[in-house]
Amino acid sequence: MLLQARERQLQRREERLSDGPDKNREHLQAEVAALTAVRQQLEQRNRELEMQLAEAGEKSSAASDEPGADEALWNEREAFIEESENALFEKAMALQEQETHLAHLADQLKALAEQLGADWQVLAGHLDLPDTEEAAE
């Protein structure tokens, strides 16, 4: 009776261990997909800003011949610089958030790996399985 209860307990642990990595993998894949989407959005915004910069350069060349063009050009450049600084700040904040989130995920993954190793040791001890280092050899 005690042996059957122990076998059921070990079976549940084995099932939990086999389910764990798949669920964690799915979670990490979803996080990677979300971060990839954010990165693509940032790259798109960067391309848009580069196009605006090129257009501003073209306008400055065309407008420099008109009276009062220097002041208008100066104002346009100031506005563009401010917009670019704001966009860069937003990108930096988004990247910092991603970095923090990835560090948290890495910590969780490390803890799961350690728990998996500990559970394997317990399971191996109860089933007289070789140690993970011995099995690798």
Domain boundaries, the chain: 24-127
- In this prediction, residue 134 has a pLDDT band, given cuts at 50, 70 and 90, of low
* Stretch among 18-32, 34-48, 103-117 having the lowest mean pLDDT: 18-32
* Sign, Cα dihedral of 120, 121, 127, 133: positive
Say which residues have a Cβ less than 8 Å from residue 40's Cβ, sequence separation at least 6: none
Asked if residue 13 lies in contact with residue 119, where contact means CB atoms within 8 angstroms, the answer is yes
* Sign, Cα dihedral of 45, 89, 30, 113: positive
User: In the chain, what percentage of residues exceed pLDDT 70?
Assistant: 66
* Stretch among 10-14, 50-54, 109-113 having the lowest mean pLDDT: 10-14
Q: Nearest to residue 63, comparing CAs of 77, 73, 55, 53?
A: 73
Say which residues have a Cβ less than 8 Å from residue 91's Cβ, sequence separation at least 6: 42, 45, 46
Is the pTM higher than 0.85? The answer reads no
